Amino acid sequence: MPAPIPGFPVDIGPAYEGERIRKKMMYVEFGGLKVDRKFELVVACDPEEVEDGKVEVIGPDLMELEEGGSYPLGIIVKVAGARVERDLEGVIERRIHEFINYIEGVMHVNQRDQIWIRISKKSVKKGLNSLKYIGQALVYLFKTVMPFIEKVEVTLITDPELVGKYLEELARPRYEERDRKALAMRDEDVDTFYGCVLCQSFAPTHVCVITPERPSNCGAISWLDARAAANIDPKGPIFPIPKGKCLDPVKGEYDMVNEIVKQRSMGKVERVCLYTMFKYPHTSCGCFEAIAFYIPEVDGIGVVHRDFRGKAVNGLTFAEMAAQTGGGLQTEGFHGLSILYMKSRKFLQADGGWKRVVWLPSALKERLKEAIPADLYEKIATEKDVSNVEELKKFLIEREHPLAEKIKAMEEEEAKAAEEVEAAEARAPAAVPVAAPGAVVQPIRVTMHNVRIRVGRLVIRRRR
Binding of residue 154 to ligand SF4 (CB under 6 A): no
Please identify, using beta-carbon distances, which residue of 157 and 208 lies nearer to ligand SF4. 208
Binding of residue 198 to ligand SF4 (CB under 6 A): yes
147, exposed or middle or buried, with CB in 10 Å at 0-12, 13-18, 19+? exposed
Query: What is the Cα Rg of the chain in Å?
Result: 26
Binding of residue 157 to ligand SF4 (CB under 6 A): no
Single residue of 107, 138, 182, 199 touching ligand SF4 by CB under 6 A: 199
Contact 147, 83 (CB under 8 A): no
b/e per residue, 412-440, with b = 16+ CB within 10 A? eeeeeeeeeeeeeeeeeeeeeeeeeeeee
DSSP characters over 172-236: HHHHHHHHHHHTTS-GGG-SEEEEE-GGGGTSTT--EEEBTTB--TTSS--HHHHHHHHHH-TTS
CB of 133 to ligand SF4, least distance (A): 24
Single residue of 62, 196, 339, 342 touching ligand SF4 by CB under 6 A: 196
Binding part of the chain for ligand SF4, among 19-27, 39-47, 116-124, 217-225 by CB under 6 A, reads 217-225
How many amino acids of this chain bind ligand SF4 (CB under 6 A)?
12
Q: Segment 33-72, which members bind ligand SF4 (CB under 6 A)?
A: none
CB of 217 to ligand SF4, least distance (A): 4
Binding part of the chain for ligand SF4, among 13-21, 99-107, 194-202, 228-236 by CB under 6 A, reads 194-202
Please identify, using beta-carbon distances, which residue of 88 and 208 lies nearer to ligand SF4. 208
Please list the residues that pair with 273 across neighbouring strands: 281
From the list 160, 261, 246, the residue with the least C-alpha distance to 210 is 261
- The pairing of beta strand 334-337 with beta strand 290-295: antiparallel
From the list 268, 261, 401, 284, the residue with the least C-alpha distance to 337 is 284
Please identify, using beta-carbon distances, which residue of 95 and 379 lies nearer to ligand SF4. 95
Contact 12, 53 (CB under 8 A): no
Single residue of 37, 94, 343, 356 touching ligand SF4 by CB under 6 A: 94
Per-residue contact track with ligand SF4, 284 to 313, x per CB under 6 A?
-x-x--------------------------
Please identify, using beta-carbon distances, which residue of 190 and 418 lies nearer to ligand SF4. 190
**Residues within the interface to ligand SF4 (CB under 6 A):** 94, 196, 198-199, 208, 216-218, 220-221, 285, 287
